[in-house]
Structures are given as C-alpha cells and as structure tokens.
Amino acid sequence: MSNYRRRSTMSYEERRVYRRRKRLIRRIQVYAEIAFISIAIFVVGSFIVSHIKGNNKTMTVAAEEKAAAKEKKEETGLKVSSGDVDPDAAKEDASAEEAEEVSGSVGAYSAKETGDTVQISGDVVSEYAILINNSTKEIVGERNADERIVPASMTKVMTVLVASKHISPDKLDDKVTMSHEAVDYSYAGEGSTSGFVEEEEMTVRDLFYGTILPSGGDAAAQLAMYVAGDIDSFVDMMNEEAKNMGLKDSHFTNPVGFHADDHYSTPYDISIIMMAALDDEFCREVLTTKVYNSTATNVNPEGITISNWFLRRIEDKDIGGTILGAKTGYVDESGSCAVSSMTSESGAEYICCTAKSTSSWRCIDDHVAIYKAYAK
C-alpha cells in the first residue's frame, strides 16, 4: 500500500504523530549534517594549524641556530657557517680579526700602542705629535695623535702614493705639458710652485719630484690630471685609498693640501700614509731625495734643480741616526707641520709626524728632539 493511501486512512491523531515523527527525523538529519561539517572543518583547521606551527618551529630553530653561530663567532673570533668550515681558512680569519683588534686598523698598514707608549713631552712645541717604530709597528710616543689636524702639504704624500699605484714604471718618462688649468689651480689656492711653467714639457717622473721636493701645487694638480683625467676623480681615488688602508679619520678634498672644512687627517693617519709610501719603491726614492735635477724641457734645456729643504736643514743635526725622507706643510690653520722618517743607530726605522708648530725651523727642532729622546 502506498504511503499516500496509508496516510489517508489514518485518524487525525495518527497523522499528527506521523508528522511529528517526520519533523524529528528531518531535524536529526540536519543536526547530523551540521555535526559532519563541523568535524570536517575541525579536522582541516587542525591540519592547517599544525602545518603553520611546524613551519614556525622550523624557523625558530633556524633562527636559534643562526644566533648561536653568531654568538660563537663573537666568542671565538671564528667565522661560522651552516656548511663545512675549512680549518685553515678559519685560522686565517681568526688571525686577521685578532690583528685588526690589536691595531685598531683594518688596513695593511697600522701601528699599535703598547705598555711602553709614552706621552711626548720635553721641549717639543708642536701641539700634535707621534713617533712610530716602523720596524716593529709600535707607537713609541704620542701627543694628541688621534685628533683631527689640517694636514696642509703633508697631503702630497698621499698624492704621490696614489699616483704611483696607478702609473706603471714604463710610463714615468712619458712627456707631460704643464697646463694652464694646473697652474691656475695652484695659484688660486695660494699653493707653492714646482719651478716649472705653463706649457713646459716635462716627464711624469719630474711631476713626482716637483710635487714633493719644492711642494709644488702645480705639479700635484698636473699629476692628478694625468692619472685620473681630472682633479675631482683623483680626489675620489685618494679617499678610496684612505678607506682601503683603514685610516681612522682622514678625508681629502684636493691633492695639494689646501685648507677646507672637509679636508682633514690625524698625525697617526699621516704616519700610516708615510709608512705605505716608504714601502712603495718609487715613492721612497722621491721622498728620500734631497736634490733633484729634472730632465731637459722645451723651456729649460738643462732642466731645473729642486730640493727638499727639510732634509737639507736637518741633515747636519744630531738626531741619533740618519734622516731618510720628509714632507712638510703649512697653512694658517695647520701651523708648521711635517712627517719624516729616520734610521736609528741600532738600525730601527722610525716615522715622526708633528703639527701646529710655531715656525718651520721650530718644526724641524721638534723632530730632532723627538728622535733624540725616544728613538732607540
């Protein structure tokens, strides 16, 4: 019998019970579907949360491992990586970092204070001074050695060092014409002259000697233009070299030594530049030359004779050894200053830098006094 015929013969009370039962069954079905969907959502949600937690845990572990590696590096001075570490490379890194920590400089050239480093005193007038044993790379004595100074023409030691690094020896005898731009550049800054004149044809070698011995601003400017094409580009090279050397507090705006607010160095840094220049074979030759006769030029067929007056004035003084090389400087803001080197009677090589002395002669006397008192 069909459901329809069966329901039509039901009494009113039976039909009401039947409808109530149907509603209950439907309600149960709905609740069952809701429960199933809820369970499905819970399962999927739990999976997603578990996956996220797993990733977070992985990231946390990786971060903790990285932090541990960093801490290990700081404690031991070794470079730690997630891969295999080369023991020899690790030793080299540790040695380099240890040397950097001791010297206070990241460059190839540096000097360190020791327990024997003294404050320079006595009859030295210069407000700033330093004496370095170039053989041991130790600071023997100092006076405000890490404070900023106006380096004046001591700048030219960096100028010839940078130029020498970018000129091959076979180019030293190339001909160069002293330009109006170089002469005017030096004249405008009230720089001293080399002795060469505009349109004079000399060699690149002559420019090096003209830069150092008579402190020629024109020669320094012409040398800069020969190397880099223009002065600004050469100055960029000077600052890059200072950075590579790990100099503590030096910045240059010109290759001559003209005063500018952003042109500065320290006695320590100038000494380090001198140290590097003395290691450059050609720069050492130029810096240690007392008198130089230039090549023949179109203006001076017999060349010109130029000299390093600091070396000539100090050579007869008793300094307890033999003077090697030097470069002086002076602008109003710097006072008389100089950087020099000498070899003591024991054979040790020293570098001395002073600044803010009262006169050029007093500056020389300060170097004499420092060498005699502290060089061994």
Rounded CA gap, 283 and 1, in Å? 122
β partners of residue 233: none
Tell which phi-psi region holds residue 312, choosing left (phi > 0), alpha (psi between -120 and 50) or beta. alpha
Q: How far apart are CA 59 and CA 99, in angstroms?
A: 36
87-91, 248-252, 345-349: range with lowest mean pLDDT? 87-91
* 159-175 CB burial, b ≥16 within 10 A, e <16: bbbbbbeebeeeeeeee
Under a CB-based contact definition with an 8 Å cutoff, are residues 82 and 68 in contact? no
Is the CB of residue 123 less than 8 Å from the CB of residue 284?
Answer: no
Confidence of residue 41 (pLDDT cuts 50, 70, 90): confident
Per-residue confidence (pLDDT) for residue 30, from 0 to 100: 63
CA angle, residues 214, 216, 218, in degrees to nearest 5: 160
What does R_g of the chain's alpha carbons equal in angstroms?
Answer: 39
Dihedral sign computed on CA atoms, order 103, 105, 106, 111: negative
Does residue 49 carry a pLDDT above 60? no
Tokens of 35: 């429960």
Task: Find the range with the poorest average confidence among 74-83, 96-105, 272-281, 332-341.
Answer: 74-83
Give tens-digit pLDDT for 290-315.
Answer: 999 999 999 999 999 999 999 989 98
Over residues 310-365, the pLDDT tens digits come to: 998 998 899 999 999 999 999 999 999 999 999 999 999 999 999 999 999 999 99
Q: What's the number of CA atoms in the CB half-sphere (13 Å) around residue 214? A: 20
Q: Note the pTM of the prediction, 2 decimals.
A: 0.72
Domains of the chain: 1-103 (no CATH), 114-374 (3.40.710.10)
Q: What is the pLDDT of residue 78?
A: 31
